[in-house]
Structure 1
Amino acid sequence: ASSEAETETAAEQFTASGAEAMTAAGMSDPIKEIVNTEDAVFDIEGNTASTALNIGTEKEPVYLDDNNYVTGYSYYNVMGFTAQVKQIKAMLDKYPDVDTVAYADGKTVSRSFVEDMNTLVDRLNAFDPTLSLKYDFDKAGSNYIASNGSAVLEFHVQTNGYWGYDLAGDSIIDKVVNEPGGYMENQELNNKYAQFFTVDLTDRYEGLYILNDTDLQNPVLYMNDDEAFLVDVDFRGAENLKKILAELVGDKPLYIYITHAHGDHYQNLDAFDTDAVAGLYYSKTEPVSGEGVGGTKLEDTFQRWVDAGKMIYYEDGDIIERAGKQFEVVIMSNHTAGGSQLIDLTDRILLSGDTLGAQTFKGGTSLGLDSVDMWIGEFDHSIEALDLNGESKIDYIIGGHTGYLNTWEFENWVYTCLQELRENGEEALYANPIGQNTIVVKDGAVLTEEEKAAQFKDGTPVPAISDEEVTHVASINVRLPQPEQ
């Protein structure tokens, strides 16, 4: 009898399917296998349902900090969180009279909070261009704060990209779009892959946005009431980029600055009508004809801009004033013949393009042994240009593949790699588990072979260091002379 009474008074239970939640989150089958969301059981009682899940509260937002350097984990974290939101939403849809969700720690949230969070993750996963993400200046790397109504979510994006750096052959694109291969030739897949986060830095820098894509490119946008100034345009997802610019820029005149003649920085120009761009800044010493990246011809992109009279050629030392900011051009010919850095003198930020490479312990840029002296000479020129009476002109660096405010010391760290290579040659190199000959500097100090090996797990290509640690690192890959056949 006692057992029957307990059964009669026991709270009703509802099981929210993990598989259904992952489907509702929009995951492909391979992603479901990785995220692997379990079923969630809710105890239903009165106007409250209790759960072990926790999607944050109005006063205590969730911070999704994977701090894991394995490719794709930023994305997997967001997908796993989305599935949890969908499970709670499924319970509330099942029980329309339930107004409150109680977590295992006793904290509660309202139905309206859950609905706001559900809308937020839907907008986030759809890369809604109207969902502005606030940049968190207090954390290392890329940390974005998204909000919708009463719901707030902060998430981390890895230094190697949200979906992985495809140019380095380290990407989850096949899993993300669930259609292996062929995406470079398939514009529909291309656009699915190249989405953009609109990252708002205006709390500190007026009119500054980073358009951080899901691979590892990040055009930088400046705006004021009169005009917009875009530095680099990426090479995928052109229609997605244009939607963001339409939302942010509207009918303001748009000026574009190209740092150098590699397709991942200029190729999306092909999608812009010449009458939609007020002017195109390009290096006077960078070619506008010849073979580009991937076998494309540079003139196929640039000739119509020349013909339209929209080209504005810049030289070393030029001062450019756009969107209420003042910029200084620094020509560096290490990465390409006439590539450039652009110093934002107003905000004290260096836009380095590809002159410094990406920030990684795997080799952020590469060069041959025979070009070391040339590279050091170009770095000497840049370091001199950044000096102002013994003090640096900059506080931060934003690289062409480093979509966050990196320490101003990063250029000096890359320079230290080059000096180590010149002084010690091949003896300074370490053949790491991904088959590259590298030099690594951490916080300004050259790592020993043992210290470099410790960055990998048991001699495998799997990284052993955290993503936060990567923000303290610079590295170069060195191409060794091939033996004569």
Structure 2
Amino acid sequence: MEGFQVTEIGEKIYCILDAGNSSFYVVEGEEKAAVIDTGITAGTKILPVIRELTDKPLLLVITHAHPDHMYHMDEFDEVYMCHDEKKMDPETLVMLTAGKLKPWEEIHDIRTDSVIPLGGTELAVCQTPGHTPGSVVVLETKQNYLFTGDAIGSGCGVWMQVPGGTSLEEYYDGLVGLMVWLVKRGGRMKFFGGHHTQVFESTAHPVYNPLSLGVLADLIDLVDQVIHGENLGRPSNAKPFSKEQVRYASYGRAEMQYCASRIHRK
């Protein structure tokens, strides 16, 4: 498994970290195995790595349409992703998916409360628009593992300056909806983001900042503060995707990079 670090994080649940620090996951049920995201490893395939973990029929669930999460989509026949990603303009979508996007008619749409059975366990979906309009989180219901992609960051904050993302007002609504959805299901999930090592890269918490329901609560407060002008943060050195200055804001254990032009709905 050269170039990949594989860790069994639960019973028949695996985290795979690629050389680019992107994390993707394998959940094996009694009948099928689900791969959640794919990482991005140019010049090689990920199926051989996955096949060392499971021989069950495979399906792929994509948390959002960014290349470090769906680059290897073409290796899978059964693919699920929220079709709200089509709300991005076509040029932006092509750029963000590195030309790797399958035709939409070959991708199963998933929405809040979509359920994907694996046998003995299932995956439940909750839409969390923000980082992208079609971002989702995925809950494995037997062991209560929650796979969040980049919807709420991975420990060092969420990037809301990325092209194609929603306004912060829309993001706020998505975060509140996610909190309600999780609390209705008990609220005691184990959170795993799309870049697992970033729990050690937080600015606000430089030692260790794992995702949790508390981080989500702080993030809701942070976004609300920015929307109402109570916490505008400071200029940031984070990667800009336009000529506009990126800003960094934090509250509690939550952090966010954003652009002032995308605070309010248009």
Counterpart-to-counterpart distance in 2, 1:399 and 1:265: 11
TM-score normalized by structure 2? 0.77
Aligned-residue Cα RMSD (Å) equals: 3.1
* Residue-by-residue CA offset, 1:236-277 (whole Å, 9 max, x unaligned): 246252221121223x2111111122122112123x1x5xx4
State the shift of 1:377 in Å: 1.0
Whether the 8 Å contact between 1:281 and 1:312 is mirrored in structure 2 is yes
1:323–1:413: structure 2 CA closer, same or farther, 3 Å change rule? farther
Partners of 1:343 and 1:212 lie apart in 2 by 19
Measured in 2, the distance between the counterparts of 1:298 and 1:323 equals 33
Q: Which whole-Å CA distance do the structure 2 matches of 1:347 and 1:220 have between them?
A: 14
Q: 1:436 to 1:338 in 2, by over 3 A?
A: closer
Structure 1 residue runs of 5 or longer lacking an equivalent are: 1-126, 129-194, 446-472
Unmatched segments (≥5 aa) in structure 2: 200-209, 239-244
Does residue 366 in structure 1 map to residue 171 in structure 2?
A: no
- Partners of 1:297 and 1:323 lie apart in 2 by 31
User: Hey, which of these two has a bigger chunk of helix by percent?
Assistant: 1
SS at match of 1:239: coil
Equivalence for 1:479: 259
What are the within-5 Å matches in structure 2 for residues 279-428 of structure 1?
A: 279-287=78-86, 290-292=90-92, 295=95, 301-303=101-103, 306=105, 311-322=107-118, 324-360=120-156, 363-367=157-161, 371-388=167-184, 391-392=186-187, 394-402=188-196, 406-425=211-230, 428=232
Q: Does 1:266 align with 2:65?
A: no
| Aligned-residue offset at 1:207 | 0.6
Query: Structure 1 residues 266 and 291 mapped into 2: Cα distance closer, same or farther (>3 Å)?
Result: farther
Structure 1 residue identity aligned to 2:114: D
Aligned residues: 241
Contact 2:249 2:257 in 1 (8 A): yes
Deviation at 1:479, TM superposition (A): 1.1
Higher relative CO (CA 8 A, sep ≥ 6), structure 1 or 2? 2
Match in the other structure for 2:5? 197
Runs of 4+ in structure 1 deviating by more than 4 angstroms, as ranges, are 296-300, 432-436
How far 1:385 moved relative to its partner? 0.8
Q: Give the aligned partner of residue 106 of structure 1.
A: none
Q: What is the rounded CA distance, in whole Å, between the counterparts of 2:59 and 2:145 in structure 1?
A: 19
Q: Among residues 192, 206, 214, which one is paired with 2:11 in the alignment?
A: 206
Matched, 1:234 2:14: no
**3-state SS of paired residue (1:220):** strand
Match of 1:18 in 2: none
Counterpart in the other structure of 2:203: none
Is contact 2:150–2:158 with CA below 8 Å preserved after alignment?
A: no
Deviations along 1:278-318, whole A, 9 cap, x unmatched?
Answer: x2112133329923567377876312x84xxx532222211
SS in 1 for 2:148: strand
Report the Cα distance in structure 1 between the residues aligned to 2:158 and 2:97, rounded to whole angstroms.
26
Structure 1 distance, partners of 2:177, 2:86, is 21
Structure 2 residue matching 1:428: 3-state secondary structure: coil
TM-score by length of 1: 0.45
Cα distance in 1, alignment partners of residues 153 and 109 from structure 2: 24
Using a 3 Å threshold, how does the CA distance of structure 1 residues 299 and 214 change in structure 2: closer, same or farther? closer
SS of residue in 2 equivalent to 1:209? strand
Map 1:2-17 onto structure 2 (within 5 A): none
* Rounded Cα–Cα distance in structure 2 between residues aligned with 1:293 and 1:235: 17
CA contact (8 A) 2:24 2:35 kept: yes
- SS at 1:197's partner residue? strand
Cα deviation, residue 222, structure 1:
0.8
> Which residue of the other structure, out of 248, 251, 264, is the alignment partner of 1:438?
248
**Structure 1 position 388, deviation (Å):** 2.1
- How far residue 330 of structure 1 moved from its aligned partner, in angstroms, is 0.7
Whole-angstrom distance in 2 between the partners of 1:268 and 1:414: 30
Residues in 2 aligned to 1:294 and 1:316: alpha-carbon distance in whole angstroms: 25
Q: Secondary structure at the match of 1:424?
A: coil
Residues 229 and 257 in structure 1, CA contact (< 8 A), matched pair in contact too: yes
Equivalent residues of 1:326, 1:344 under 8 A apart: yes
Contact 2:71 2:97 in 1 (8 A): no
